[in-house]
Amino acid sequence: MSGGTAGRKAELKVSDDSGSTWTPVATTSIGWSPTFENADTTEQGDTGRARIGTLIDASVEAELNNKMASDAGQIILETAAYGQTEIDVRYYPQGSAGTGYEFTGLVTGLPHSNPVDGKASSSVTIEMSGGTKPSTGVAYA
Amino acid sequence: MSGGTAARNTKVYMTGTSTAATDEATTANSGTEFQITNTARRIMDPDPANTPVVKVNGSAVTPSAYELNLLFGVVTFTADQTGNTVTVTYSYLPRHKIVDCRAADWNPSFETADVTVFEDTGRRRLATLIDIEVGLERTAIGNDVLDGSALTVDKVLFDQTPKVLEVDPRGDGTRAYRAWCLIASNSQSVPADGALSSSPSAVGAQPATGKMIEYGVAS
């Protein structure tokens, strides 16, 4: 039985109108990092570590193909970054026909690198800001 | 699908001496957005002593009726100005290309504060300050003259006063990044068997008025 998921199918989409429209971002790689924070509640008498779940956090890092003004998704990211406004983010590991993850966040990094003998490269980091955990199971509509 | 941007087209600029401009023409980008037409005069001096005066059909408009993007020379009105002539009297900062660059790193930081409260299920963050680090790599000392005066690029670049640095990754002005910066370092290497290389770096410097960093259409 075959398995695995080709990374070329993954998609990153952003919305600056509270989810009314979703715009794809031209990316060359995407990293999704949820953090499931916990607190240690071990007490005397326990034989193993006891923990309880506390807050959820999440961030997305993506390398952009840096199509600049030709990429509407990159424009939304940059507008949100320099305007310091929240955007909604959807990450689909298997493409937008499948399930994905969504959260509201702030752009916290958007560096550019321009070497004379290479391509203009940039990446984006978006960290959750909305106070609610990411939703899952979002399917393309 | 093709894409990407070859970095060899990147252009890097710095600003020079503040110069007065009277009733400078603008071009309408929309009914409410007007941009200084002359691409060489779009960076506005943020010195409060040179506060821009915006006129509609020759009459000065109260500043509460518009917002200014000082780094790209854009006036955005709250009311539609379709059909009206918009001019600006201000001081602009001329752009000068730094011609000997071979690398430009643009690294903004968008700082946040954690404001998570009870009953939140996930982390809550609030946007706070913006900052920038710019790193350049150059192959020569900038001896070309600036502003038609006796000042050279290097003399102005390292005069310890804030100036606007601009990186245009495509080199065509369709999407450029401008930031008020102070040069923070300039290490140089001069091997006998190689070429001179210098690496000036700059950090953000919030101006008296307007934003530290903007992106937009340069030309």
Q: How does DSSP assign B35-95, residue by residue?
A: EESSGGG-SBP--GGG--EEEETTEE--GGGEEEETTTTEEEESS--TT--EEEEEEE--E
Measured distance CA(B43)–CA(B35) in Å, rounded: 11
Return d(Cα B202, Cα B106) in angstroms, integer. Answer: 10
**pTM reported for the whole predicted model:** 0.87
Distance (Å) from the alpha carbon of A1 to chain B's nearest alpha carbon: 31
DSSP letters spanning B112-178: EEE---TT-SB-BEEEEEEEEEEEEEESS---SBSTTSS-BHHHHHTSSS-EEEEEETTSSSSSEEE
* Percent of chain B clearing pLDDT 70 (strictly above): 98
CB atoms within 10 A of CB A139: 10
Beta carbons of B106 and A70 less than 8 Å apart: no
Closest CA to B119 of A52, A55, A59: A55
Nearest to B116 by CA among A2, A128, A135: A128
What is the model's pLDDT at position B72? 96
Count, residues in chain A? 141
CB B73 within 8 Å of CB B67: no
User: Dihedral of the CA atoms A96, A102, A106, A108 (nearest 10)?
Assistant: -60
What pLDDT does B154 receive? 83
- Provide, rounded to the nearest whole percent, the portion of chain A with pLDDT above 70: 95
What average pLDDT score do residues B116-129 get? Answer: 93
Please name which of B85, B162, B102, B174 lies closest in space to residue B138, comparing C-alpha atoms.
B102
Q: Which residue of A has its CA nearest to B213?
A: A82
8 Å CB contact of A131 and B215: no
Q: Residue range A29-44: average pLDDT?
A: 92
Cα–Cα distance for residue pair B145/B148, rounded to 1 Å: 6
Average pLDDT along chain B: 91
Give the largest Cα separation in chain B, rounded: 65
Token digits of residue B169: 């990754």
B-chain residues near A105 (CB < 8 A): 125
Q: What is the DSSP letter of B3?
A: -
Between chains, do B110 and A109 touch, taking CB under 8 Å as contact?
yes
> Inter-chain contact A120–B7, Cβ cutoff 8 Å?
yes
Question: How far apart are alpha carbons B17 and A1 in whole angstroms?
Answer: 70
Considering only CB atoms, A108 lies closest to which of B101, B103, B110, namely B110
Using CA atoms, how far apart are residues A137 and B191, in angstroms rounded to an integer?
58
Give A141's pLDDT tier (boundaries 50, 70, 90): very low
Residue A15 pairs with which residues in a beta bridge? A88
3-class state of residue A72 by DSSP:
helix
Contact between chains at B3 and A56 (C-beta distance less than 8 A) = no
Collect all residues from A whose CB is shorter than 8 A from any CB in B: 26, 55-58, 65-71, 78, 81-82, 84-85, 103, 105-121, 127-134
> Which residue, among A33, A128, A110, has the nearest Cα to A64 in the 3D structure?
A110
Nearest CA in chain B to A28: B4
For the segment A46-57, the average pLDDT, to the nearest whole number, is 91
Chain B residues touching A133 at Cβ < 8 A: 121-122
Query: Cβ contacts (< 8 Å) between A68 and chain B: which residues?
Result: 5, 169-170, 174-175
* Mutation target vs A (from B110, B112, B120, B213; most A CBs, 10 A cutoff): B110
Q: Which of B104, B98, B213, B128 is nearest to B162 (CA)?
A: B213
Q: How many residues does this entry show for chain B?
A: 219
**Strand ranges (DSSP E) for A2-120?**
11-15, 23-24, 27-40, 51-64, 87-92, 99-109, 112-115
Q: Collect all residues of chain B within an 8 Å Cβ-Cβ radius of residue A56.
A: 121-123
CB contact under 8 A, A56 and B123: yes
pLDDT of residue A126 exceeding 90, the answer is yes
pLDDT at position B44, please? 97
Encode pLDDT of A64-96 as tens digits.
Answer: 988 777 789 999 999 999 999 999 999 998 888
- Count of A-B CB contacts under 8 Å: 135
Nearest one of A32, A63, A31, A24 to B4, comparing CA atoms? A63
CB atoms under 10 Å from CB of B203, counted, come to 14
